[in-house]
Structure 1
């Protein structure tokens, strides 16, 4: 348990007090009252497991053709998409479209449904319960297919016909070629002939590649990706919900001409909800992101992009596609939390890194930077973030209250296990809770909470702090344990306590109020409001200001004596690298000033590096990179450094 002082400490330190703006100083001793650390905020937030049947405990029930698993209550794959029943009531609420099964004990036999698969043909095909959502769902496809570009058409064809594992590995960016070579992935679907008359419909490639001992350097990675497909079929949901494909609802939907011959001629067994392509692509993406979390957000973005290509192809509707994401997240978590698969996870992660580092001539220290280097379709963070959020909801308006508390499904925390390895399972659950999207969107309010999970945002850390959030990073473990960056806008009333030897960068427009205490390692502010609206207290480690403008602390700053450092990176030569709205109490430690950009001060130039409402005390030592002759001038509100010749 973390303890903080209950009252201020009174330290006698020798300080130099500026007598004038010219730099005069005094050698008089002065007693400085050092404030206590920010107050303890109590127990950290929790995300309890919902008191409903968990998908991860019942994933094996996701089957068709078995009377025991033919209903909403008995089939996990159907149940996780139960929000669809607010939009559409199928003819029968049974997994029975083109399916029969004998009775098993007290479970009655399944008789094939009379559903034809063709809406508006005069038969009783089901009931639209929310006409506005249904109309928006189909109209979206009408507009998307009418306005698709040639580039989108080609991508939609490739994503339709090509094996999904090969397609999704494109999200690896600069690692794509190395991944495909190591996995021995192949495809025979590369393009459409110019005249669109020669179209390939069956990929002769091997999807995820070669697994097992046949691929000694990467087989464990391929096994990991294949593993998450267990119990992943979308057929039970299709046969239960019996919601037609968009081109069967409206003739205005323009199916991609190259794909018209691929349209099923048996609509009874070809429902649109949910999209199998979308679910498989998200499953593959999550497994790949687990293996290579250095590309986490880019890879899962590719998974959702493939889902959108199903809409652009005219083959699926937004509800079909977003439900595929929900279904896949639950399926992957179920496979990942299964104790029988623990060794596969560990081996896949380790082998992915050893093989890819060897292929790219990188090391544990340089691998992350290489994975994020260059320019690919997913290298723009802001674009990825916007597209991911858009593809979660496809612009549907909420149909229920938007302020319901978020639930985190049992086992969902495993989806962040390698991306946030320095957090506990309980902390990862809170990350998922505080980054979830609002409630109320069609289909997304499932009983457990799978639909509201925003994994892109969750990969950027907490969305809010409640209670004491203790973060311990061990740099010796490498990877994200050594250094990470959180880009969310963090709110809440909690307190951040940074421990351990690793470095955490905070890049959001943060507003949490409980304060920050740094005891070890480094905390780096890369946005002006990185440290929120509370006091900042450095009792160990290095606090770094690395912003293009001033780092602004909303209240007080305290730095204790000993092994403490304030590092100010004077980007652009801003006159004042850190401002403190309240009192800055400097009881010792080190100040280091760096000039990492093109700006370099000139001899005789004075730079205000620290300003505060009230400045007390002084640093034990000051170092300015590139200069040995620097004169500090302390005033009641500022610290100015004059650069010598």
Structure 2
């Protein structure tokens, strides 16, 4: 920032426009792939069947090809391994290596299963899958069972005659796994809705005709207590994909959407159920992987369907009610690191990478809906980048489908970015609660992008980060719990930077602290030092919290720096956690900031006088009278005014300027955007460039100086999609019409109105919400209809609409 530049007049701007040792590779967490910063990098790719979220209802037995049935098509990478025959036992193995690996894994896992594993596999086989996944709610599972009236007739203790008697789950007294008409019925309803969204694996099993492992080799034995569940007719008992695994993940995704606080645990529980299908001998690793891939696509499809909006909302409300209750019982999935290890191993089961390992990650259309409640402070584009930067490396069998469903790692994605391939701005509103108030990004984040923190919430960075674009804290708090949490760039603190690390916290370049901000250091040892490799520009408040039980040394260093800009100092210093804190003060040395005992009032000439505000140099005796210090100056209030500008913009509009001015003399105006995926702003000129659709807040900051206080003004714009063009309506027959139109860039979906009234009177109008640009409307009775369309962009729970298209009349 140029402090000498005068901006007392209007800113000028020119408008221009388990048993086997497994390995896994993730695009960012382990072996980074090359990524493009352009938004085209996250553009979806259409498969031969279309986009799954658009055609998911085509999963029925009337469609039995990869091009007509998405449940078959999303798994068609399997055709590189195996060609189905016309019978259950005459298919042709195309890749002997992967076939052997698949069977070897089943042999190893079933040969080494413990009694505890056998029991778990039995329960997961015989119980309703949705009931089984409840345990993923951890300490809230028992309350959910009670409040949802969930039930099972399969007891925890396995019957003595289970080896000869088939026990089927009768669920609760009504024959349901849980009740929609219950305290937590909203969550139950979402599970049921997703599980009934054309979710059956029957078509895919019938198409692929891949045998269960015990039918490939007698070295795989079904556990004895599951023998009664073995089907006698192999012709209708395919293994790929696993239906139990599919059902488990569908339930987990539904509950995780409603209760994102348990996202990791629920996904881990689903992976556990899938793995238990291998333990029991019922399925192979490839079967389980296929079940997960299919479930992921189905869940995203159901969550994207506008017809399910109210179902989703009620589920979230029910979960909020659940989390107000007192936790009880144990949480078997409380260990994050253990969950992570299990889940990520089971994504690939350690199969050899037989395909191209260097393919860029592909993010499926609509996949961002799976993170909608887990990362609510990110927009859709940002959530797609999260999926993009946490995906699996390419080349694994089954997982390289065209759309990218197989390579998604939702466990990693639920814990934030894996890489900043663009500049990232995060706006967290603490008043909304939940993850808007506080969240923790646990992944190791690399990349060349920057991080800007906006909003009142707290974002914790706990990964071993190496992103190089720098960190700007404009509002709220960034908390660091890893020594390298701040990455490799410079840090500008305009709000609160808090560290909770036992050891050095590294700022690899410069650190600048602005007026009114706070640096909070936690000190528990001699090695707890904030280490700034570059220059330190100090201002605002320094808070030093000495942890309980630790006594600081006589010369405790708390901040190290290469140099201190203009001998800058903190305005205020707070020392906490010590009974004798009043006897402590900080001293600024050439290499850093130290905490020492307060010195006596008199000092030797020429020494540094420590202090808790600004150090002073004691003058050498001159025999002259001591000068009286100049009185302190009260800073004037500074006001920012913005010229009138339209707050509603359309995607594609030209760049424009926020023409701001301030009454402060010799102060500088700077601009920042809280959502760079919607609009970017030139830091110095205020020139705004539209990048997407949504709501974006531009923050204008007038810097402080000796005479003026810092001032902040925020201007919020709404950017809507372009008006839909190319609307065509054609009569197909007496009772149906076909509606088509051009897709609008950046649109989430479309609102189509079909009316018998040219004025679109409400009582005569049917409103349809679509994610595609075509529709066949059936069941029409009148001769004449009027149709219009407008695009919308989802922003949280709201839709931001474009202008309506022209009205088309059809007879």
TM-score, scaled relative to structure 2: 0.67
Which residue number in structure 1 is paired with residue 67 of structure 2?
73
Q: Does 1:473 align with 2:425?
A: no
Which residue number in structure 2 is paired with residue 418 of structure 1?
373
Which residue number in structure 1 is paired with residue 43 of structure 2?
48
Which residue number in structure 1 is paired with residue 480 of structure 2?
525
Which residues in structure 2 correspond to 1:436-475 (within 5 Å)? Answer: 436-475=391-430
Cα displacement (A) at 1:466: 1.9
Which residue number in structure 1 is paired with residue 24 of structure 2?
none
What RMSD in Å do the two structures reach over aligned CA positions?
2.0
SS in 2 for 1:335: helix
Q: Distance in 1 between matches of 2:532 and 2:110?
A: 54
Which residue number in structure 1 is paired with residue 556 of structure 2?
607
Specify which structure has the higher proportion of strand. 2
Q: Distance in 1 between matches of 2:452 and 2:203?
A: 47
Q: Distance in 2 between matches of 1:344 and 1:179?
A: 18
Q: Quick check: 2:386–2:413 contact (8 Å CA) kept in 1?
A: yes
Which residues in structure 2 correspond to 1:439-588 (within 5 Å)? Answer: 439-538=394-493, 540-561=494-515, 563-570=516-523, 572-586=524-538, 588=539
Q: Distance in 2 between matches of 1:339 and 1:643?
A: 65
Which structure ranks higher in relative contact order (CA pairs < 8 Å, sequence separation ≥ 6)? 1
Question: Larger Rg: 1 or 2?
Answer: 2
Which residues in structure 2 correspond to 1:224-623 (within 5 Å)? Answer: 224-229=190-195, 230-357=197-324, 359-360=325-326, 376-538=331-493, 540-561=494-515, 563-570=516-523, 572-586=524-538, 588-601=539-552, 605-616=554-565, 617-623=568-574
Q: Does 1:642 align with 2:596?
A: yes
Alignment partner of 2:171 out of 205, 211, 217: 205
Q: Distance in 1 between matches of 2:322 and 2:445?
A: 36
Which residue number in structure 2 is paired with residue 34 of structure 1?
none
Q: Which runs of 5+ in 1 are unaligned?
A: 12-40, 92-113, 120-124, 361-369
Q: Deviations over 1:439-491 (max 9, x none)?
A: 00000001100000000000110000022211100000000000000010000
Q: Distance in 1 between matches of 2:137 and 2:506?
A: 36
Size of the aligned set, in residue pairs, is 559
Cα separation, partners in 2 of 1:320 and 1:525, compared to 1, 3 Å: same
Cα displacement (A) at 1:182: 1.2
SS in 2 for 1:142: helix
Cα displacement (A) at 1:262: 1.2
Cα separation, partners in 2 of 1:545 and 1:253, compared to 1, 3 Å: same
Q: Distance in 1 between matches of 2:164 and 2:214?
A: 23
Cα separation, partners in 2 of 1:287 and 1:322, compared to 1, 3 Å: same
Q: Which runs of 5+ in 2 are unaligned?
A: 7-35, 600-811
Which residue number in structure 2 is paired with residue 633 of structure 1?
587
Q: Distance in 1 between matches of 2:546 and 2:535?
A: 26
Cα separation, partners in 2 of 1:517 and 1:388, compared to 1, 3 Å: same
Which residue number in structure 1 is paired with residue 104 of structure 2?
139
Q: Quick check: 2:124–2:276 contact (8 Å CA) kept in 1?
A: yes
Cα displacement (A) at 1:210: 3.8
Q: Distance in 1 between matches of 2:288 and 2:52?
A: 20
Q: Deviations over 1:384-432 (max 9, x none)?
A: 1011011101110100121210001011001011110100011001000
Q: Deviations over 1:73-123 (max 9, x none)?
A: 0001000111101100112xxxxxxxxxxxxxxxxxxxxxx40x2x3xxxx
Alignment partner of 1:165 out of 121, 127, 130: 130
SS in 2 for 1:334: helix
SS in 1 for 2:534: strand
SS in 1 for 2:452: strand
Q: Quick check: 2:488–2:509 contact (8 Å CA) kept in 1?
A: yes
Which residue number in structure 2 is paired with residue 22 of structure 1?
none
Cα displacement (A) at 1:196: 4.8
Q: Distance in 1 between matches of 2:384 and 2:576?
A: 42
Q: Distance in 1 between matches of 2:536 and 2:46?
A: 48
Q: Quick check: 2:162–2:226 contact (8 Å CA) kept in 1?
A: no
SS in 1 for 2:76: coil
Q: Distance in 1 between matches of 2:379 and 2:178?
A: 33
Q: Quick check: 1:189–1:200 contact (8 Å CA) kept in 2?
A: no
Q: Quick check: 2:259–2:319 contact (8 Å CA) kept in 1?
A: yes
Cα separation, partners in 2 of 1:637 and 1:441, compared to 1, 3 Å: same
SS in 2 for 1:631: strand
Q: Quick check: 2:442–2:463 contact (8 Å CA) kept in 1?
A: yes
Cα displacement (A) at 1:221: 1.4
Cα displacement (A) at 1:377: 2.3
Q: Quick check: 2:42–2:385 contact (8 Å CA) kept in 1?
A: yes
Cα separation, partners in 2 of 1:583 and 1:356, compared to 1, 3 Å: closer
Q: Distance in 2 between matches of 1:531 and 1:592?
A: 19
SS in 2 for 1:505: strand
Specify which structure has the higher proportion of helix. 1
Q: Distance in 1 between matches of 2:4 and 2:295?
A: 54
Q: Distance in 2 between matches of 1:72 and 1:576?
A: 59
Cα displacement (A) at 1:606: 2.9
Cα separation, partners in 2 of 1:46 and 1:428, compared to 1, 3 Å: farther
Which residue number in structure 2 is paired with residue 107 of structure 1?
none
Q: Distance in 2 between matches of 1:84 and 1:48?
A: 24
Q: Does 1:59 align with 2:56?
A: yes
Q: Distance in 2 between matches of 1:644 and 1:606?
A: 11
SS in 2 for 1:296: helix
Q: Distance in 1 between matches of 2:422 and 2:93?
A: 45
Q: Distance in 2 between matches of 1:45 and 1:377?
A: 41
Which residue number in structure 2 is paired with residue 156 of structure 1?
121
Cα displacement (A) at 1:211: 3.5
Cα displacement (A) at 1:209: 4.0
Q: Quick check: 2:208–2:240 contact (8 Å CA) kept in 1?
A: yes
Q: Quick check: 2:163–2:228 contact (8 Å CA) kept in 1?
A: no
Q: Quick check: 1:329–1:450 contact (8 Å CA) kept in 2?
A: yes
Q: Quick check: 2:128–2:177 contact (8 Å CA) kept in 1?
A: no
Cα separation, partners in 2 of 1:643 and 1:294, compared to 1, 3 Å: farther
Q: Quick check: 1:505–1:524 contact (8 Å CA) kept in 2?
A: yes
